[in-house]
Structure 1
Amino acid sequence: MTIQQRLAGKTTPYWWEAAPVGPVPEQSIAPRVDVAIVGAGYAGLSAALTLVRAGRSVAVFDAMNPGEGASSRNGGITSGSIRPSIATLTRRFGEKKAFEIETEGKHAREFLYDFLATEGISCDFQLTGLFRAALGYEQYDEMARSTEGLAKRLGIDAYSVPHSEQRNYIGTDFYRGGVVRMDIGGLHPGKFHAGLLRVALAAGVTVHCQTPVTAISRNGAGFDVTTGAAKTAARQVLVCTNGYTDAAAPYLRRRLVPVRSRIIVTEELSPDLMAKLMPRGMMMGENRQLGFYYRPTPDGKRILLGGRDSSWVGDPAAPTLRLRAGLGELFPELADVRLSHSWFGNVAMNRDMLPRVFERDGVVYASGFCGSGVVWAPWVGSRAAHRLLGNTAESRTAFDFRPPAAVPFYNGTPWFMPAFIKAYGLQDRVALWRARR
């Protein structure tokens, strides 16, 4: 038994218990299709569904089983977060562009919620709201002002919660208040992907799993898409690989850094303890560089907590221990709780820290969701599909601009991430010390 298995009984995602990932029925690779898509996660399948319903023949290729990457490994929070602040976006891109990016989050969440209802996808979705916690009173004041402005600009239900009212939202004294957004909820990401896959296959999308693409090359007005099994000719190609981008897409690979995100899940807790720690059943986040995100599981019986993983090879125990210690720091009642699961998956970061739709040498890319792919991947995938269809109005997105800049001295192996994680951790310790002085 490995150290990880002693810490947490299973190293596979908790979500796979109710929605196991696996292969789809094998089909021969067509010699010619209208559109070839690389990646069968949320983005690739959302794009494929849009395209096939518009009458295009579509083949989706995935190196693993459909959804085996981040689509079934994430926390299931419908945040649609943008990491740069509105002030940072304004400084980089101007006030108009910054407002467009901020507003697009509202549209993307509404798109997701409508899609789940329209397609009849049952994935335990609940619009619970999200509580984002402040480390200190100065941070709380800044977050409260920002949230007041956000509510006015977007017309959403968002408000601040002072420290005196904090325990009505979360059963800890670790924070100094926080803010709430009621347009954010939670779902079961494995069930969401399984439902999306079911709908896509029923619509006529062809999915080839365990079929890695090895090369994409020009062939006249179209492309040759080569796999280990066969080659297909495609008029158009869309790449949606995000945190699992490999050498088949070298241009994208130099611009996306895969970062491990790890999640732990507790054993079942008593109803009274769950009601004390998570009184409103909300999604939770906090304002740290290496901040935790956490939530009750959809059945309300366990707590799931995630955060950045400093490792980049193997499956070491240290990241699980870090998350377990963080859980005990937030909730002393859980200091000795047993864990049932601990797993990791890759998210994809870029130098702008923004999702992106762009074209390079005729290939369209939809990627770079920066840890918020539950909302951004279906939205950006569908926008990319409309771009391929030539639907100008439907393809419009604030993320359709220049490609992300390449990362210097980077060729796809994130050797530098442990150092970055340590630096961010030091920043967080200093910020917490200052906040509590």
Structure 2
Amino acid sequence: MSRDPRAAATAMPYWWEAAPPHAMPTTPLPKKVDVAIVGAGFAGLSAALVLTRAGRSVAVFDAMRPGEGASSRNGGITSGNIRPGFAEIERRFGQGAALAIEAEGKVAREFLWDLIRTEGLECDFKLTGNFKGALGYDQYDTMARASETLSKRLGIETYAVPHSEQHSHIGTDFYRGGTVRMDVGGLHPAKFHAELLRITRDTGASVHGQTPVTGIVPEGPHCRVETASGTVQARQVLVCTNGYTDKAMPDLQRRMIPVRSRIIATEELPHEVMDRLMPRRMMMGENRQMGFYYRPSPDGRRILLGGRDGSRQGDPLEPTLRLRNGLAELFPELAQVKLSHSWFGNVAMNRDMIPRLFEKDGIHYATGFCGSGVVWAPWVGSRAAHRLLGADAGRSAFAARPPAAVPLYKGDPWFLPAMLGYFTAQDKLAMRRARR
């Protein structure tokens, strides 16, 4: 493929064309609030919505424009994936723990659908189903067994798709079959955030964009929240910063590794091409460690494909070319297609690769969504709010100890290129074995 630097027309997220993040009106900071929330993404706003409707006074702070981070940069796939797959979680923790996590994922997806429906959030949500491709027949057998377990034990509508029937779901010969989950869909993430911001502000929460929190200092039964615009006294503090955690929260920063996730969008494709490549307009994924996730745009006229970006600074061409080559590997007829967008955002990984809800030194945290925050961020944020209220609804399989700190890490992920390179090498080896 060409290494033309014009491979992508713009670095602006495709989603921002319809719903760009906006600066918030400048308003004075409250002197005291019941709850201060750090981070105005999906998690922080979902928590604020619960708390204000319960009668709490809430101030939400974000270092950027609200939603400017991962909430408006992601793929908009409502997967609720857990990075260790079902088989791996079962191996590490037992079938009971694996089923508990999957069961909570089922509830979390339903919570998101209900939130969108009952609040009337206009965000192009469609429950399309999700196809996950198998790289080899052995992997297909493992995935098919896990699908059968989820169907029988949890009542999730999921089924295996053998290689012979693959083209009815996706127009590629790259996979050796796959599985489908019908409880997964897609939405427009920037529109979803804008709507969530609207209803949260309507409940009375004050949201302060471009107001970074510089420190949180416990003072007896309260905390002093120091920001670039002044100080607020809060009875409780909830941190929801995830992939944009900075040195203002040094203890959390040592536990959350920011990893770039990049997405490309094709130019508009002919209707017959979309019918051939994505006949059911499903969300798509695969089982490689450095694999791709992809989907049709909400209007069904483009393909958006994303994956991990091993770069650490600037906006280099190489990650865009990697995704473009991946698109051509899946769909050879798109080898020369033009791209309209290529952008990135940070996701937060931790050593367990599982979302986390915990309290440490009097501060509460809802974080660690590991690239699946469209489902997990609203869910875990709302569970955190219920925990602050002392309600039973705060119970969660993710309420546990903090994730372990990363040795020798203090906010600069210098090791990422080597680590992602190692995963890429593992994927190549696995692919060779799978195709024997």
TM over 0.5: yes
> 1:146, CA displacement in angstroms?
1.2
Asked whether the 8 Å contact 1:133–1:179 carries over to 2, the reply is yes
The superposition leaves residues 38-83 of structure 1 with CA deviations (integer Å, 9 ceiling, x where unpaired) of 0000000000010000001000000000000000000000000111
Separation (CA, whole Å) in 1 of partners of 2:205 and 2:144:
46
Structure 1 residue identity aligned to 2:336? D
Separation (CA, whole Å) in 1 of partners of 2:68 and 2:60:
14
- Per the alignment, in what secondary structure is the counterpart of residue 348 of structure 2? strand
The superposition leaves residues 322-376 of structure 1 with CA deviations (integer Å, 9 ceiling, x where unpaired) of 0000101111110000000000000000011000100001000000000000000
Separation (CA, whole Å) in 2 of partners of 1:368 and 1:210:
23
Separation (CA, whole Å) in 1 of partners of 2:258 and 2:142:
31
Q: Does 1:166 align with 2:166?
A: yes
> 1:94, CA displacement in angstroms?
4.1
Structure 2 residue identity aligned to 1:98? A
Q: State the partner residue of 2:188.
A: 188
Structure 2 residue identity aligned to 1:290? M
Q: State the partner residue of 1:430.
A: 429
Asked whether the 8 Å contact 1:4–1:316 carries over to 2, the reply is no
Deviates more, 1:98-107 or 1:361-370: 98-107
Separation (CA, whole Å) in 2 of partners of 1:137 and 1:410:
39
- Gap regions ≥5 residues in structure 1: none
Q: Does 1:310 align with 2:291?
A: no
State how 1:50-129 maps to structure 2 within 5 Å: 50-129=50-129
- Per the alignment, in what secondary structure is the counterpart of residue 63 of structure 2? coil
Structure 2 residue identity aligned to 1:435? A
Separation (CA, whole Å) in 1 of partners of 2:432 and 2:88:
25
Q: Does 1:377 align with 2:365?
A: no
Q: State the partner residue of 1:332.
A: 332
State how 1:12-411 maps to structure 2 within 5 Å: 12-391=12-391, 393-411=392-410
> 1:313, CA displacement in angstroms?
1.1
Separation (CA, whole Å) in 2 of partners of 1:181 and 1:89:
18
> 1:156, CA displacement in angstroms?
1.3
TM-score, normalised via structure 2 length: 0.98
The superposition leaves residues 226-246 of structure 1 with CA deviations (integer Å, 9 ceiling, x where unpaired) of 012100100000000000000
Separation (CA, whole Å) in 2 of partners of 1:270 and 1:401:
49
Percentage identity across paired residues of the two chains: 68
Asked whether the 8 Å contact 1:257–1:349 carries over to 2, the reply is yes
Asked whether the 8 Å contact 2:5–2:317 carries over to 1, the reply is no
Asked whether the 8 Å contact 2:328–2:334 carries over to 1, the reply is yes
Q: State the partner residue of 1:412.
A: 411
Separation (CA, whole Å) in 1 of partners of 2:230 and 2:102:
43
Separation (CA, whole Å) in 1 of partners of 2:339 and 2:85:
34
Count of residue correspondences: 434
- Per the alignment, in what secondary structure is the counterpart of residue 173 of structure 2? coil
Asked whether the 8 Å contact 2:264–2:306 carries over to 1, the reply is yes
> 1:5, CA displacement in angstroms?
6.5
> 1:154, CA displacement in angstroms?
1.2
Structure 1 residue identity aligned to 2:297? T
The superposition leaves residues 278-322 of structure 1 with CA deviations (integer Å, 9 ceiling, x where unpaired) of 000000001101110000000000000000001011111100000
The superposition leaves residues 215-261 of structure 1 with CA deviations (integer Å, 9 ceiling, x where unpaired) of 00011210000012100100000000000000111111110100100
Separation (CA, whole Å) in 2 of partners of 1:15 and 1:5:
22
Separation (CA, whole Å) in 1 of partners of 2:423 and 2:25:
44
> 1:88, CA displacement in angstroms?
3.1
Separation (CA, whole Å) in 1 of partners of 2:58 and 2:236:
10
The superposition leaves residues 355-409 of structure 1 with CA deviations (integer Å, 9 ceiling, x where unpaired) of 0100001000000000000000000000000111111x11000000111000011
The superposition leaves residues 158-199 of structure 1 with CA deviations (integer Å, 9 ceiling, x where unpaired) of 101111111111111111111100000000001000000000
Structure 2 residue identity aligned to 1:97? A
Structure 2 residue identity aligned to 1:219? E
> 1:100, CA displacement in angstroms?
1.4
- Per the alignment, in what secondary structure is the counterpart of residue 43 of structure 1? helix
> 1:92, CA displacement in angstroms?
3.6
Asked whether the 8 Å contact 1:243–1:347 carries over to 2, the reply is yes
> 1:95, CA displacement in angstroms?
3.8
Separation (CA, whole Å) in 1 of partners of 2:66 and 2:24:
8
Structure 1 residue identity aligned to 2:393? E
Separation (CA, whole Å) in 1 of partners of 2:357 and 2:207:
22
Deviates more, 1:351-360 or 1:88-97: 88-97
- Per the alignment, in what secondary structure is the counterpart of residue 406 of structure 1? coil
> 1:4, CA displacement in angstroms?
8.9
- Per the alignment, in what secondary structure is the counterpart of residue 397 of structure 2? coil
Separation (CA, whole Å) in 1 of partners of 2:400 and 2:89:
14
Deviates more, 1:375-384 or 1:84-93: 84-93
Taking only aligned residues, the RMSD between alpha carbons, in angstroms, comes to 1.1
Asked whether the 8 Å contact 1:4–1:11 carries over to 2, the reply is no
- Aligned in 2, Cα 1:369/1:275: closer, same or farther, shift over 3 Å? same
- Gap regions ≥5 residues in structure 2: none
- Aligned in 2, Cα 1:292/1:146: closer, same or farther, shift over 3 Å? same
Asked whether the 8 Å contact 2:87–2:146 carries over to 1, the reply is no
Separation (CA, whole Å) in 2 of partners of 1:95 and 1:175:
28
